[in-house]
Structure 1
Amino acid sequence: MVSAETKCIMVQGTASNAGKSVVVAALCRMFSQRGYRVAPFKSQNMSLNSFTTSENREIAMAQVLQADAAGVEPHHHMNPVLLKPKEDFTSQVIVHGQPAGDMNFYHYQHNFRDQALKAIKESLDALKKDYDVIIMEGAGSPAEINMLDVDLANMQIARLADADVILVADIDKGGVFASIAGTFQLLPPEDRQRIKGIVINKFRGNLDILMPGIRQIEEIVGVPVLGVLPFDPGLRLPEEDSASLSERKYRSHGQITVGVLRLPRISNFTDIDPLEYEPDVGVRLIEIGEDIGDVDALIIPGTRNSISDLVALTESGLADEIASLSQEIPVFGICGGYQMLGRKIIDRTLKESNIGSVEGMGILDVKTSFGEVEKIISQSQGTPVGQGIFSRTTGEVLNGYELHEGISRLGDCKPLLRVIKGCGNYPKSGFDGAQNDLTAGTYFHGIFHNFQFRRSFTDYLRIGNGLEPLGYQKDDFKDLREFSMERLANLVEDNLNMDELQRVLHFDLI
């Protein structure tokens, strides 16, 4: 049902990583279960975790998760502006899912802001035509007083949408009441009045001890606390950005250990999430400067700047260590990680960085070039060629998505996939990736989300460690992700005062 007037609700936070994304996802699921057609919306997102929609447009992964929670197809209007940090003070600007150029902060704010705001308005109007409820997500804090006049993510967008605001505050780091009071104090009166309720997130203690503080903060700011959400370490949902990796506790111990390089500009690190759900498998993040240590396989994930991160690996000595280890254990590169495994990355026009062309690790006989094609943004499909450690995967149709500007040409090595849909190594090549005996790479993000491909990889590791292979019995990752989403929605609903929520929003939730 599409209502005569779409209801807009915005979730803002007292700081980054307060829990805005997951609260938006939970509200999307809750409203959807009540029969409303719901869309998530984040006007401007800065994130290196992105996804390709079915329209072949790029949006942040958080809005994909939220759309999934709402039971609707992700669309570029749900995230009209995406900023992908590239180098210091420079980001690739994605508008309506397509690249608009690389811009520094000054250029974006002074020369491009009006275009960004126009795109945001267009997307918001488009969503209002098709949805009953839009659950909007802010960015960082609305009380950044040095940025109020150029805001494109918080209160200016709430005004544009005439949205009621729910403020989420993270209690886990301490100072929750000060952060709530300070946010109210720094906001202009007209914006302060938009905040209809407060949610305290990530609580681990005794609620009775917290209650006196809740009563006092309600008196101080004049807005009700709608609920206190407990910290739930069992939730396993995609993270918003790489900063959250510092808090993410992967299961690091198992009979099999997969090392994952935490590159300085790591992107699309959700590619590795399914491995954590494999029985017996532990995932260990390896920082630049650390020893790789005793791992059974190594994954080099995507990066927003392949050349700069390759230089960092080379200078730290990790590139040589990886080249040596590739003779002993499987090494797998995804997108930028795949490019680094090759012999050379050519960047004559300085498209990728100011460094120019560099030598790769030389493990795969591949040369990658930047500046020959526009950015590839595509949902993709392919079938394994069936060589090396993936010799048992022939015939399976793999789904993934591509987000890359470089194209790769193979020398004396085999491709990893035959491309059914998408680009792969370069337009119309018909193939993606490369492989030799123990090393492989691909442009397909999400390749380990394909159950049989992932299980063939981990079974290869199990057999190498004297364990029994598990075979293709059950995809725990897909089941547990849906379980986590439902668990999140129930956790939020069980701990919010739903009657009070309806009262302050003037909206029927029953």
Structure 2
Amino acid sequence: MSSKCIMVQGTSSSAGKSVLVAALCRIFSKRGYRVAPFKSQNMSLNSFTTHENREIAVAQVLQAEAAGIRPSYHMNPILLKPKEDFTSQVIVHGRPAGNMNFQEYQTGFRETALKAIRESLDYLKERYDIIVIEGAGSPAEINMRDRDLANMEIAHLADADVILVADIDRGGVFASIAGTLMLLDKRDRSRIKGVVINKFRGNLEILMPGIERIEEITGVPVLGVLPYDESLKLPEEDSASLAERKYRGRGDVKIGVMRLPRISNFTDIDPLEYEEDVAVRLIEAGDSLEGLDAIIIPGTRNTISDLMYLRDNGFADEIRDLSREIPVFGICGGFQMLGRSIIDEGLQESKLGSVDGLNLLDCKTTFTGDGKIISRSEGEITGAGLFSGIAGETVEGYELHEGTTVLGYVKPLMKVKRGFGNTYTMGFDGAADGNVAGTYFHGIFHNFRFRRYFTNLLRERKGLEKLDYVDDHFDASRRFSIDRLAEIVEENMDLSIIEDIIEGD
């Protein structure tokens, strides 16, 4: 069969586009089709390194997993990572192309971006039977229609029919459906073949009169109503979703994660929430650090600015004091903050230049402008500091960082077997001393034995019984959630229109 494209767009951000694409990838891959996800342009600080050592958004990684294939940079050819002053780092085919503001991107780079999008779409079409495309935001942003690179322009480019998803949980679902369709011109509107109402919590019978009326008004069928299932545990793409996750779990072991203003790759902390007696607490300005058993400083899109946030809100002094009693662990930008200083003479990271770090590890980080490390990585734990009991353990992760870190009188956390770590040449990664440790490896807590060792340290310090190295609930829950998501869609959505699109000539 020739390749077929179906596109999922939304009436707004967070309507459920990403998860519906994942569900469709799972459903049709299980039916024997070769399926691949695609998002032409994504804006996200939650990213991942593929096997090609290229950077893409985590949503496409989940969708590729649902399709049963390895993620590739062709599934997300353009990634925008917001920085400061209304600029974003522009990632093209998984590699940085520069920092640009909106005007620079649209006037000077749009054609380059569109070329990359075409190349990746053609690449996928040559290799897969079905391409399930995810839109961005809403197609009804009429002030930007002539600059669109994510919604209807891509639907026409791919010759894709569109399913429109609307979020009923936020209210005004019928107005959002009707308004979106009304604002589209005839050519764009002709692409929309059905509507899906997402995140429904109520009685479907009460909703039915509204569904019948909206179908009369718009002439577009409602293909299904998807229930809100809180049991699903899937990675989030948007940091705005963290507002719903400020407190997770009721375990005796309490881990505080600093919610930095420019937090990135926050999926690094997801596995900790699956430790049965661990409660993860996101710490914001005004919150107390009292009662925590460990502190994690996660990745950030701007290390220096977020370090100033910790300092301005009194967290820096508190973290230093608490490090005498409890573990403090930094990941990527969080690791850089733990050192003595951050050298940024070229103002690469921010306009603040060079600053003092938290001075918890004897190391310094320098932003040299030599480029960004993007790598799948593997290392062997050295046994330094907190991790003396797990020396020799192999861990995997991925690196997405600028800047190099030079250690003083402190031992590295691990010896790098694949990837780069602290410098641009393979050697050592991270550092560990006493209660404090850090790494450039994103995904380090996805390594079950490393995670269980760390949480067992916390259990032991509280006088709790340690857990055995069995039952990785995180991986099991992720697989279950993808399968359950597909089941929910199959049970509550009429797939016949999509089947006709796929099977048609």
The TM-score bracket by the shorter chain reads over 0.9
- How far is the alpha carbon of 1:243 from its aligned partner? 1.1
Residue 350 (structure 1) aligned with residue 347 (structure 2): yes
Q: CA deviation at 1:498?
A: 2.8
Q: Deviations over 1:282-310 (max 9, x none)?
A: 10001133222211000000000001101
Once the two structures are superposed, residues 216-259 of structure 1 have per-residue CA deviations (whole angstroms, 9 ceiling, x without a partner) of 00111111100000000111000011111113365242110110
Which of 309, 312, 331 is the aligned partner of 1:312?
309
Q: Identical aligned pairs, as a percentage?
A: 68
Instruction: Tell me the residue number matched to 2:470.
Output: 473
Query: 2:503 matched to 1:507?
Result: yes
Inter-partner Cα distance in structure 1 for 2:114 and 2:141: 19
Deviates more, 1:389-398 or 1:163-172: 389-398
Is the 2:4–2:160 Cα contact (8 Å) retained in structure 1? yes
**Equivalent in the alignment of 1:299:** 296
CA distance in 2, matches of 1:499, 1:163: 16
Work out the CA distance in 1 between the residues paired with 2:298 and 2:403: 15
For 1:169, the equivalent position in structure 2 comes to 166
Cα distance change of structure 1 residues 130 and 43 upon mapping to structure 2, 3 Å threshold: same
What residue in structure 1 maps to residue 225 of structure 2?
A: 228
1:388 corresponds to 2:385: yes
Q: 1:464 aligns with which of 461, 464, 477?
A: 461
1:62 alignment partner in structure 2? 59
Aligned to 1:158: 155
Question: What is the root-mean-square deviation of aligned Cα atoms in Å?
Answer: 1.1
> Any gaps of 5 or more consecutive residues in structure 2?
none
Tell me the equivalent position of 2:361: 364
Further displaced range: 233-242 or 282-291? 282-291
Secondary structure of 2:271's aligned partner: helix
**Residue type of the alignment partner of 1:301:** P
Matches within 5 A, 1:317-466: 317-428=314-425, 430-466=427-463
Matching of residue 488 in structure 1 with residue 461 in structure 2: no
Query: TM-score normalised to the size of structure 2?
Result: 0.98
Q: Is the 8 A contact 1:302 1:335 kept in 2?
A: yes
SS in 1 for 2:346: coil
The residue number in structure 1 matching 2:74 is 77
Structure 1 contact 197–501 (Cα < 8 Å) conserved: no
Which whole-Å CA distance do the structure 2 matches of 1:388 and 1:234 have between them?
37
Partner of 2:38: 41
Distance 1:216 1:353, change over 3 A: same
Does 2:251 align with 1:251? no
**Structure 2: how far apart are the matches of 1:82 and 1:273?**
22
- Give 3-state SS (helix, strand or coil) of 1:322's partner: helix
Letter in 2 for 1:125: D
In structure 2, distance between residues paired with 1:47 and 1:308: 18
Give deviations 1:329-359, integer Å, cap 9, x for gaps: 0000000000001110000111111111111
Structure 1 portions without partners, runs of 5+: none
Deviation of 1:429 (Å): 5.2
Task: Tell me by how many angstroms 1:371 deviates.
Answer: 1.7
1:119 and 2:116 are equivalent in the alignment? yes
1:391-426: per-residue Cα shift (whole Å, max 9, x none)? 121222101000000110011111101100000010
Q: Which residue of 2 aligns with 1:178?
A: 175
Structure 2 CA distance for aligned equivalents of residues 250 and 221 of structure 1? 41
Aligned partners of 1:359, 1:422: CA distance in 2, in Å? 28
Hey, what's the Cα distance between the residues in 2 that align with 1:390 and 1:497? 52
Say if 1:18 and 1:170, in contact at 8 Å, map to a contact too.
Answer: yes
Q: Distance in 2 between matches of 1:292 and 1:31?
A: 47
Instruction: Show the counterpart of 1:212.
Output: 209
Match of 1:128 in 2: 125
Which residue of structure 2 aligns with residue 86 of structure 1? 83
Structure 1 44/225 Cα, relative in aligned 2: closer, same or farther at 3 Å?
same
Distance 1:307 1:169 in 2: 38
SS of aligned partner of 1:87: coil
Is the 8 Å Cα contact of residues 261 and 288 (structure 1) preserved in structure 2? Answer: no
Conserved? CA contact 1:263–1:288, under 8 Å: no
Is the aligned partner of 1:141 residue 2:138?
Answer: yes
Q: Structure 1 length normalisation: TM-score?
A: 0.97
Once the two structures are overlaid, the 10-residue window that deviates more, 290-299 or 76-85, is 290-299
Counterpart of 1:418 in 2: which secondary structure? Answer: strand
> Distance between the aligned counterparts of 1:341 and 1:276, measured in 2?
24
Does the aligned pair in 1 maintain the 2:4–2:502 contact within 8 Å?
no
Deviation at 1:144, TM superposition (A): 0.4
Q: How does 1:281-292 map to 2 (within 5 A)?
A: 281-292=278-289
Aligned residue for 1:348, secondary structure, equals: coil
Give CA-to-partner distance per residue, 1:154-192, whole Å, 9 cap, x none.
000000000000000000010000000000010111111
Letter in 2 for 1:507: E
Distance 2:73 2:498 in 1: 29
Pick closer, same or farther for the CA change 1:501–1:209 going to 2, 3 Å: farther
AA aligned to 1:30 is I
- Does the 8 Å contact 1:250/1:276 carry over to 2? no
Structure 1 stretches of at least 4 aligned residues deviating more than 4 Å after TM superposition: none
Could you tell me whether the CA contact under 8 Å between 1:289 and 1:318 is conserved in 2? no
